[in-house]
Structure 1
């Protein structure tokens, strides 16, 4: 039936054209934005996931920046520590040279003074962004000595987020100078025992020089020790005080008549140990920062060399710690970059438009639109054909 009031063919053609136009708008929007899911109305689930992951990726970008800042701090501290180690090596060499007979110690002291000033300059200059890890007030405690480098941003399976950090605590084992006291590696006093000491042993009135391992006063006298070795008592443990000579414990009793400090007396053989001539323990009275050759005896100079070597060992350990932290930060930087790229790729899989597919769809929709327009034109011409019936 033909009607001039209701043209159903035109209405159908118009509806088709509208649908095609809507599809073209959607396709053109995807092509122009590059997104298949550009808003929550496109796909609420994917849009929500993508929005959250984009936010996390921005946080990771900040983590990457923080890692760069942390790496700069660690590198600065490591460079300073490495330079300080070389200077302390020079000081150790100067001390060894000072043990030579006839050497002018005042000239060596002038060189050591310059080297000490260089150590001060290195520790003061090793600062980045207002933080110096080579000198600090170790009496401050707490947060003042706790250094942190942001390492990662984490979202767990419950949706909780947290920031992970690499911690580095400043203490007497890694700070060169303690500005609040004298407990830094270079401004503290090292108590160094001699590797061995020579004692005079009296056996039936005959004195013999023997070398024994280094010991302190507390080690010298031991209650309830067990006899062993050539002079061991066959009954085993005995009560009383003992002294270890050449790895053998012997009884220690005061014998004023012989002038010896300690003695072993089994009614047949008397052992006396004279510790007056050579001290059991030698203690360094100076730190590296206060080193002054003029005030050191030959024995103290030997001990000071050991003290400087102990400081050098602590510095080497601290440099190794900084190096390991620097390596971890480098690895974390690389991981954060890869993680960020992975998140970008994951988001793309969810919301990015397939441009090949969209361009093909657009071409098809353009063809369909042309055909729909043509169909609508034909449908609209039906009313014109009705007029011809009245002619």
Structure 2
């Protein structure tokens, strides 16, 4: 039926063109943003999951930064600790050498020992990173350990917990800034009553009635004890360093896995969208042409009257 009131063909062509334009707009949006789910209206479930996963990944990024800062502190302390152990071993060798040396030679040996003692103080005092010195701390301070955040965990109920790597200052303290020092290097020995930093082979003092030979043995006993404590401290720092490095690597891999997971949910397939764009552009052109043809049908009704 030919009607001048209702052009059914034009209406159908217009609806088809509108649908094509809507799909074209959607595809162009995906290509321009790179997302097939850019907002909640695109797919509420996927958008919600992706938003939560992105939030967790941001938290993991903060943890990685904290681990990086902690790694710097621990690496610095570990390097300084190993240097301190070398210096104390040299002091031990000089004390042993002084035991059977003449007074004149002991003065020369003491000069070398003093150099190593100064080296110890300088290396420990200079082992700071970001304002923190793990080897030189105050035994009376309220903060008793280094805490490095190592993980961020959120369960299905939304409850958050964090993991940490802790190093007790008391286990690695070489020099104590407290008035009554308890550091490995500055506290008095149990055998010789001398600390590593005040050993003097030219002026031995010890328990009354103790022979000179025994006093040297007492010095060596305390040096060996200090070396043992320093070895334990180096082992603790080394273990913490290994844990931090392992956790940093794990978080890096986890972050990549989360990014991939989010991408699978919300990223647009650019090959697919590009092909779809070209098809829709052709459909749009055909739709415009179809609408033009449908509109021209109304003009053909006039010809009926002209012919009459």
TM, length-normalised to structure 1: 0.74
Q: Tell me which moved more, 308-317 or 100-109.
A: 100-109
Inter-partner Cα distance in structure 1 for 2:33 and 2:286: 27
Structure 1 residue 386, shift from structure 2 partner? 0.6
Q: 1:97 to 1:19 in 2, by over 3 A?
A: same
**Which residue of structure 2 lines up, in the alignment, with residue 190 of structure 1?**
189
Q: Deviations over 1:104-135 (max 9, x none)?
A: 21111111111111111111101111111111
Which of 243, 247, 250 is residue 328 of structure 1 equivalent to?
Answer: 243
TM-superposed CA distance for 1:158, in Å, is 2.1
In the aligned structure 1, how far is the partner of 2:51 from the partner of 2:161? 18
State the partner residue of 2:196.
288
Q: Does the residue aligned with 1:152 lie in a helix, a strand or coil?
A: strand
In 1, Cα distance between equivalents of 2:303 and 2:101: 136
Alignment match, 1:279: none
1:40-189 counterparts in 2 under 5 A? 40-102=40-102, 104-140=105-141, 142=142, 144-171=143-170, 173-180=171-178, 181-189=180-188
Name stretches of at least 5 consecutive residues in structure 2 with no aligned partner.
205-211
Distance 2:136 2:101 in 1: 37
**2:233 is the alignment partner of 1:318:** yes
Residues in 2 aligned to 1:51 and 1:27: alpha-carbon distance in whole angstroms = 22
The CA distance in 2 between the partners of 1:157 and 1:88, in whole Å, is: 53
CA distance in structure 1 between the aligned counterparts of 2:264 and 2:223, rounded to whole angstroms:
61
Structure 2: distance between partners of 1:167 and 1:285? 32
Query: What residue in structure 2 maps to residue 347 of structure 1?
Result: 262
> Is the helix fraction higher in 1 or 2?
2
- Runs ≥4 in structure 1, deviation > 3 angstroms? none
Which structure 2 residues correspond to residues 349-388 of structure 1 after superposition, within 5 A? 349-388=264-303
CA distance in 1, matches of 2:28, 2:101: 93
Partner of 1:390: 305
Query: What's the CA shift for 1:84?
Result: 0.5
How far apart are the structure 2 equivalents of 1:190 and 1:347? 60
| Match status 1:20 vs 2:20 | yes
Aligned residues: CA RMSD = 1.3
Distance 2:157 2:175 in 1: 46
Query: Larger Rg: 1 or 2?
Result: 1
DSSP 3-state at the match of 2:172 = coil
Higher relative contact order, structure no. (Cα contacts within 8 Å, ≥ 6 residues apart): 2
The answer for the alignment partner of 1:235 in structure 2 is none
Provide the C-alpha distance between the structure 2 equivalents of 1:316 and 1:37, rounded to a whole number of angstroms.
Answer: 56
Tell me the TM-score normalized by structure 2. 0.93
Tell me the residue number matched to 1:218.
none
Per mean C-alpha deviation after superposition, the further-off stretch among 98-107 and 309-318 is 98-107
What is the count of residue pairs matched by the alignment?
297
